[in-house]
């Protein structure tokens, strides 16, 4: 495609969801939106290393990077001696309903439509086998409840159509929505109107899930199976672009049960055709060496069209050129017929989308013309699984209905989908998400699949305003009702027996007497009569008021305290930081967290400043002026005053205001550059001990603590250790002192939040230990500059002070017999093997728990988890928050793979890897990750997909994004740092990710990229996202990229002057300043729209993201390209295409 051709940027997905904040209705790429001036420039194909121009010369394979005479290995190749990291051929030229050109006719390249076939060997699902099977005609819609009747008579409307080939068949099969309820697809070009034909179906060795229609996402099924073996097409619209509504396919095909859901890349054992003629359909079983090839993906944002094939000539189909694949396909008499279609594709064939014009003009059909093959090309990125596609499909399929939690083992919508939750007995996915909702019955099966069984738990998650907060249940002095043996709390899964006098525990089966005050009669179904009146019997999440037995030293806790500890060394004062903090605290103290209906917060506050010594302040309300007391003996820290240090904000308001005015003046002329750090934490800890309460320290710190004191550190930063066996030491603390200090803090309920403002190496790996183990948060503002970083810091500080926190928290996860919690990841401390202890747990923190089998599970009873969190609320109330979740159990691996959640799996794998770097070389950790994922996919291939050529990559439907997301984790700064990434950055990211939830890791590893110039200024929605690759960018457009920590606004060199004026208030590209961290407030629709998008994204994230303006071909562009995660990275990370090849190779090695 020429650079001046309009690039496709919008994904072709489903309709917008009403009421979802932040996602504009997607549309088919490339055609202009009404009201947005069209750029005449195409995609930016700039100087990114490793990015190839779309059409390389013959004999050059871009993904290899060097000229080569052999052709690359395609996904469906059996050849082993070929280029190792290539995935099959590019899309071949498209077809249309027109008759084929005469032999020798050439076709203008402007006619290359999005291809109906030949997306080099990408096939979703299970390839063809030997049993022939009839199909109904494509135009027959399936109505709910009616099973399709095989039809073998000719269809009533016939039009000229070239013979259907196996290539086209599987192609079109791969082109349907993954289990979507509405598929508007154009009919297969040139093929849609001939008589039906019998096509080679695939083997029927699958377990049936019953007949009738697939109900969307039922507990037992997950998404509907995807496979070529489903010989039934979805109903086709008679004309391109006419939308239709199709029901899910009936599961019972004559003689066939539905196959497990899978997405295949690459056809079975025979070669693909790339513009070379397609082998005609065979009525019998496929012969060795023939191909069922890849999908016509009209995935969003094509940038390159393949060249037209050379003139057609020759007596019979020649072998394709996408690899050395064995013998050419034999010729067979042509069979007219319908193309196969299939339910789970990498890309979909869709009709024209709203807001965009129709498809490209069609080109002549090269259907059965023999001829010279075109030059080999790299695999088309549009023909491999797209995260954007999957996200949009889930949004359109599952965003409109509430997610009701009444059914066991339901897979929730993706974290990127905006949906409401109705609690009917299982905890909301906002509180708990699992890697799989159907877990293997035996440990052998779990070991075989290698799918980790883990739950990511966010016990205090914030709910949207439309959802109800957990009810607080007060059982009086007797406390919550619990099982006598395992101490599990009363929950909806407990079984009442003997007329309600006793209950049987669902976790350990022990029978316990019901306390007299809790007794209630049962109805005719065995349910208690008060079932719906008691949250603990009918809901998945609720809270109990804890009795004094659940409190430290058997006495109720005091309300917690906040202590603000400000570094007043030279750097902090000179940068304006001290003055900024003091100014902000004056107003912020009015917003301390408080219990729902309380007039004012019960939290008391205290103030400390420090450099080499510590200054405590008495701000007692009876004083006219604050008093300062200095402790210079930092080796033996004590708090010099008790009364007047921790005070109520309202009572001491004037004294506090006076203090905050005086601090910047007092230290304005300081020359002290050295700081201490450990004594500061010790001082806060001692103050909380003396006050006999829990609390939080807010420490604002600027430099490596080199002053003589406990916990003194030295500069040990050493880039030379990267990629050596000693690299792990960079992530470990340099002394054990802080680990012991953290233990003392946890015992007291002293949580530490750390705000760092470094201008050089600070040793985050060591300073962060106490924060990390007490459940606190670290915020880092490198090279802090007041005018650039002020907004971000103040927003973070406000949110950190105001957010909900549970203090002195202990969490335990109980499970039903058969599995148990064995491993934990997150920001906490553990003194034994079962209790997760946190001095503080806020609403953004997650704890990830891994489970292992210790016995067999049964399919009937399933598996249960109960997470119980004991904590002190911000008003000093001791509470228990309970979350329950029931999962299915399976004896078939296909059921496991059908109910996995890739986003949660990646969250777990990233945390597992990020912990691994503490004890192993980074390369070992990376290799282990790749190996585990290859084993997961190889096990699926071996046990769930039907037999097919090893040259075919088949991915489970639920896990088809595993390779792209895993590659993002492998390329992250912790596991593969670029030269510009500091040691502190890596330690910071490592700690940050360890307590992230699934939505945060999703956008952190695969950032969201939005075309701003495509935004509809009149709507509230976001523009449709595009894939993270440089080839998706157009020089004439602006884009926004966010990853949860940063927002980049990228401006192409050819953006129209009017847009630049509207957004930046300057008249030309060269005048845009990238020093600013905010967009100017201008009164025009485009400026308002872009600023509202930025605000909308800021609200969704737990931290305030730094805004960075990037001009194309500017030095900052390298940083921006680092986040285009589908491309090769400068630090050596593979592109998505190359990594997919690598994974395929690993899987083949495991299978052989």
pLDDT digits (tens, 9 = 90+) for 243-296: 333 333 333 333 333 344 444 554 433 444 344 444 444 444 444 444 434 433
Start-end of H helices in 345-429: 387-398
Triad 396, 15, 895: Cα angle to 5°: 20
**pLDDT tens across 56-87, in order?**
444 444 344 343 333 333 344 333 333 333 34
pLDDT grade for 950, boundaries at 50, 70 and 90: confident
Stronger pLDDT, 577 or 287, i.e. the higher one: 577
pLDDT at 406 over 70: yes
pLDDT grade for 551, boundaries at 50, 70 and 90: very high
Q: How far apart are CA 1025 and CA 1040, in angstroms?
A: 10
To the question of pTM greater than 0.85 for the whole model, the response is: no
Can you tell me the mean pLDDT for 447-461?
A: 97
Three-state SS sequence of 1087-1114: HHHHHHHHHHHHHHCCCCCEEEEEECCC
**pLDDT tens across 1087-1130, in order?**
999 999 999 999 999 999 999 999 999 999 999 999 999 999 98
CA quadruple 391, 396, 402, 403: dihedral, nearest 10: -40
From residue 37, alpha-carbon distances to 26, 421, 1037, 1055 in Å are 18, 40, 10, 10
| Residue 1: per-residue pLDDT | 44
Strands 750-756 and 695-701: parallel
Helix-, strand-, coil-residue percentages of the chain, each rounded to 5 = 25, 15, 60
- 1033 close to 1126: Cβ distance less than 8 angstroms: no
Start-to-end Cα distance in the chain:
40
**pLDDT tens across 597-634, in order?**
788 999 999 999 999 999 999 999 999 999 999 999 99
| Residue 98: per-residue pLDDT | 44
What tokens appear for 568 in the block? 């007043």
Can you tell me the mean pLDDT for 501-514?
A: 97
CA-nearest of 124, 77, 422, 437 to 260 is 124
pLDDT grade for 980, boundaries at 50, 70 and 90: confident
pLDDT grade for 184, boundaries at 50, 70 and 90: very low
CA-nearest of 273, 375, 268 to 328 is 273
Triad 224, 225, 227: Cα angle to 5°: 140
**pLDDT tens across 717-746, in order?**
999 999 899 999 999 999 999 999 999 999
**pLDDT tens across 234-248, in order?**
333 334 344 333 333
| Residue 301: per-residue pLDDT | 36
What tokens appear for 751 in the block? 């949580």
pLDDT at 492 over 70: yes
Can you tell me the mean pLDDT for 818-831?
A: 97
| Residue 1074: per-residue pLDDT | 87
Q: What is the DSSP letter of 817?
A: T
| Residue 373: per-residue pLDDT | 54
Tell me the CB-side half-sphere exposure of residue 940, using CA atoms within 13 A: 32
pLDDT grade for 379, boundaries at 50, 70 and 90: confident
pLDDT grade for 669, boundaries at 50, 70 and 90: very high
| Residue 281: per-residue pLDDT | 41
**pLDDT tens across 45-56, in order?**
444 444 444 444
Triad 183, 185, 188: Cα angle to 5°: 140
Q: How far apart are CA 971 and CA 965, in angstroms?
A: 10
| Residue 377: per-residue pLDDT | 55
pLDDT at 334 over 80: no
DSSP string computed for 672-727: ------HHHHHHHHHHHHHHT--EEEEEEE-S---SSSTT-------GGGTTSGGG
CA-nearest of 390, 417, 438 to 179 is 390
Can you tell me the mean pLDDT for 469-473?
A: 96
pLDDT grade for 353, boundaries at 50, 70 and 90: very low
Buried b (16+ CB within 10 A) or exposed e, 224-240: bbbbbbbbbbbbbbeeb
Q: What is the DSSP letter of 528?
A: B
- 893 close to 900: Cβ distance less than 8 angstroms: no
Q: Report the mean per-residue pLDDT for the chain.
A: 77
**pLDDT tens across 770-815, in order?**
999 999 999 999 999 999 999 999 999 999 999 999 999 999 999 9
Strands 1008-1011 and 604-610: unpaired
- Could you count the other beta carbons within 10 Å of the beta carbon of residue 265? 33
Q: How far apart are CA 626 and CA 341, in angstroms?
A: 78
pLDDT grade for 381, boundaries at 50, 70 and 90: confident
**pLDDT tens across 137-162, in order?**
443 434 444 444 444 444 444 444 44
Can you tell me the mean pLDDT for 519-547?
A: 96
pLDDT grade for 372, boundaries at 50, 70 and 90: low
Q: What is the DSSP letter of 125?
A: S
- Could you count the other beta carbons within 10 Å of the beta carbon of residue 519? 13
Name the phi and psi angles at 301, rounded to 5.
60, 50
From residue 769, alpha-carbon distances to 249, 586, 696, 699, 842 in Å are 54, 30, 15, 14, 18
* Helix/strand/coil for 603: coil
CA-nearest of 1048, 1067, 1047, 1065 to 1057 is 1067
Q: How far apart are CA 900 and CA 126, in angstroms?
A: 19
């Amino acid at each position: 495609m020429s650079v001046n051709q309009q690039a496709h940027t919008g994904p072709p997905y489903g309709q917008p969801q009403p009421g979802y904040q932040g996602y504009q209705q997607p549309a088919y790429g490339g055609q202009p939106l009404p009201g947005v001036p069209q750029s005449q420039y195409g995609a930016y194909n700039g100087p990114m290393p490793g990015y190839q121009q779309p059409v390389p010369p013959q004999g050059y394979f871009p993904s290899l990077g060097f000229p080569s005479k052999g052709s690359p290995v395609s996904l469906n190749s059996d050849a082993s001696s070929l280029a190792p990291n290539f995935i099959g051929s590019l899309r071949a030229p498209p077809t249309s309903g027109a008759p084929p050109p005469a032999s020798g006719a050439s076709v203008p390249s402007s006619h290359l439509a999005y291809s109906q076939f030949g997306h080099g060997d990408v096939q979703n699902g299970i390839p063809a086998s030997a049993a022939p099977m009839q199909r109904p005609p494509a135009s027959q819609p399936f109505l709910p409840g009616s099973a399709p009747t095989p039809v073998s008579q000719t269809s009533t409307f016939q039009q000229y159509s070239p013979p259907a080939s196996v290539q086209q068949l599987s192609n079109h099969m791969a082109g349907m929505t993954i289990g979507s309820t509405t598929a508007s697809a154009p009919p297969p070009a040139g093929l849609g109107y001939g008589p039906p034909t019998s096509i080679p179906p695939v083997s029927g060795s699958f377990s049936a899930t019953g007949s009738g229609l697939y109900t969307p996402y039922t507990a037992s099924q997950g998404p509907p199976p995807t496979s070529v073996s489903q010989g039934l097409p979805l109903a086709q619209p008679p004309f391109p672009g006419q939308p239709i509504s199709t029901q899910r396919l009936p599961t019972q095909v004559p003689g066939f049960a539905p196959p497990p859901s899978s997405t295949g890349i690459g056809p079975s054992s025979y070669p693909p055709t790339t513009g070379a003629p397609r082998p005609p359909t065979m009525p019998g079983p496929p012969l060795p060496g023939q191909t069922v090839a890849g999908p016509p993906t009209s995935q969003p944002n094509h940038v390159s069209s393949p060249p037209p094939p050379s003139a057609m000539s020759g007596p019979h189909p020649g072998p394709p050129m996408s690899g050395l694949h064995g013998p050419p396909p034999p010729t067979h008499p042509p069979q007219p017929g319908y193309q196969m279609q299939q339910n789970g594709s990498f890309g979909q064939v869709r009709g024209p989308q709203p807001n965009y014009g129709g498809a490209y003009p069609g080109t002549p059909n090269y259907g059965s013309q023999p001829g010279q093959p075109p030059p080999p090309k790299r695999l088309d990125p549009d023909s491999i699984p797209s995260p954007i596609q999957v996200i949009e499909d889930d949004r359109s399929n599952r965003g409109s209905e509430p997610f009701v939690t009444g059914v066991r083992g339901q897979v929730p919508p993706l974290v990127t989908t905006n949906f409401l939750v109705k609690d009917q007995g299982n905890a909301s996915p906002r509180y708990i998400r699992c890697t799989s909702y159907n877990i293997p019955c035996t440990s052998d099966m779990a070991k075989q699949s290698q799918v980790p069984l883990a739950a990511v738990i966010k016990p205090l998650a914030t709910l949207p305003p439309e959802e109800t907060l957990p009810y607080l249940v007060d059982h009086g002095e007797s406390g919550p009702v619990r099982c006598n043996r395992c101490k599990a709390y009363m929950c909806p899964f407990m079984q009442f027996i003997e007329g309600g006098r006793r209950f049987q525990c669902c976790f350990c089966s022990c029978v316990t007497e019901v306390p007299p005050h809790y007794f209630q009669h049962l109805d005719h179904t065995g349910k208690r009569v008060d079932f719906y009146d008691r949250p603990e019997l009918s809901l998945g999440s609720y809270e109990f008021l804890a009795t004094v037995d659940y409190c430290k030293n058997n006495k109720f806790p005091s309300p917690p305290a906040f202590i603000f500890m400000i570094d007043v060394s030279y750097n902090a004062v000179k940068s304006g930081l001290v003055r900024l903090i003091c100014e902000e605290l004056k107003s912020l103290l009015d917003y301390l967290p408080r219990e729902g209906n309380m007039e004012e917060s019960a939290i008391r506050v205290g103030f400390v400043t420090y450099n080499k010594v510590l200054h405590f302040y008495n701000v007692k309300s009876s004083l006219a002026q604050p008093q300062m007391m200095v402790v210079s003996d930092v080796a033996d820290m004590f708090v010099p005053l008790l009364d007047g240090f921790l005070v109520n904000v309202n009572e001491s308001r004037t004294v506090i205001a006076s203090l905050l005015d005086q601090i910047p003046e007092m230290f304005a002329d300081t020359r002290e550059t050295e700081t201490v750090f450990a004594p500061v934490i010790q001082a806060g800890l001692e103050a909380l001990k003396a006050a006999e309460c829990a609390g939080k320290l807010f420490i604002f710190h600027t430099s490596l603590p080199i002053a003589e004191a406990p916990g003194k550190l030295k500069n040990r930063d050493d880039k030379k250790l990267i990629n050596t066996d000693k690299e792990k030491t960079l992530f470990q603390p340099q002394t054990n002192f802080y680990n012991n200090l953290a233990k003392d803090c946890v015992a007291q309920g002293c949580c530490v939040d750390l705000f760092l403002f470094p201008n050089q190496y600070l040793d985050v790996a060591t300073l962060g230990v106490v924060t990390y183990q007490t459940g606190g948060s670290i915020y880092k503002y490198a090279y802090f500059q007041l005018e650039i970083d002020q907004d971000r810091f103040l927003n973070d500080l406000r949110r950190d002070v105001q957010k909900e926190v549970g203090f002195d928290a202990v969490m335990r996860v109980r499970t039903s017999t058969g599995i148990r919690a064995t491993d934990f990841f997150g920001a906490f401390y553990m003194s034994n093997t079962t209790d997760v202890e946190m001095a503080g747990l806020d609403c953004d923190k997650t704890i990830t728990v891994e489970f292992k089998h210790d016995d067999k599970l049964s399919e009937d009873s399933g598996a249960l988890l109960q997470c119980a969190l004991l904590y002190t609320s911000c008003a000093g109330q001791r509470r228990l928050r309970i979350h329950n979740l029931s999962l299915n159990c399976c004896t078939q691996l296909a059921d496991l793979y059908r109910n996995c959640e890739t986003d949660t799996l990646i969250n777990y794998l990233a945390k597992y890897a990020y912990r691994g770097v503490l004890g192993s070389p980074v390369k070992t950790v990376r290799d282990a990750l790749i190996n585990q994922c290859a084993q997961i996919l190889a096990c699926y291939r071996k046990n769930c997909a039907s037999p097919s050529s090893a040259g075919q990559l088949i991915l489970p439907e639920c896990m088809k994004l595993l390779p792209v997301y895993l590659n993002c984790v492998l390329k992250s700064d912790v596991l593969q740092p670029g030269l510009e990434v500091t040691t502190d950055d890596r330690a910071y990211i490592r700690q940050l990710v360890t307590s992230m939830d699934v939505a945060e890791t999703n956008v952190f590893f695969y950032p969201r990229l939005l075309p701003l110039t495509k935004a509809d200024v009149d709507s509230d929605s976001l523009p449709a996202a595009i894939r993270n690759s440089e080839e998706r960018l157009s020089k004439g457009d602006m884009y926004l990229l966010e990853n949860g920590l940063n927002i980049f606004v990228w401006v192409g060199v050819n953006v129209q002057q009017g847009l630049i004026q509207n957004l930046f208030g300057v008249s030309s590209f060269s005048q845009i300043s990238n020093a600013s961290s905010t967009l100017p407030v201008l009164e025009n629709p485009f400026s308002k729209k872009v600023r509202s998008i930025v605000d909308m994204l800021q609200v969704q994230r737990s931290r305030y993201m730094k805004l960075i303006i990037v001009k194309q071909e500017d030095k900052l562009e390298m940083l921006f390209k680092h986040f285009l995660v589908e491309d090769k990275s400068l630090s050596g990370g593979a592109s998505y295409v190359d990594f997919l090849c690598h994974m395929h190779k690993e899987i083949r090695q495991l299978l052989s």
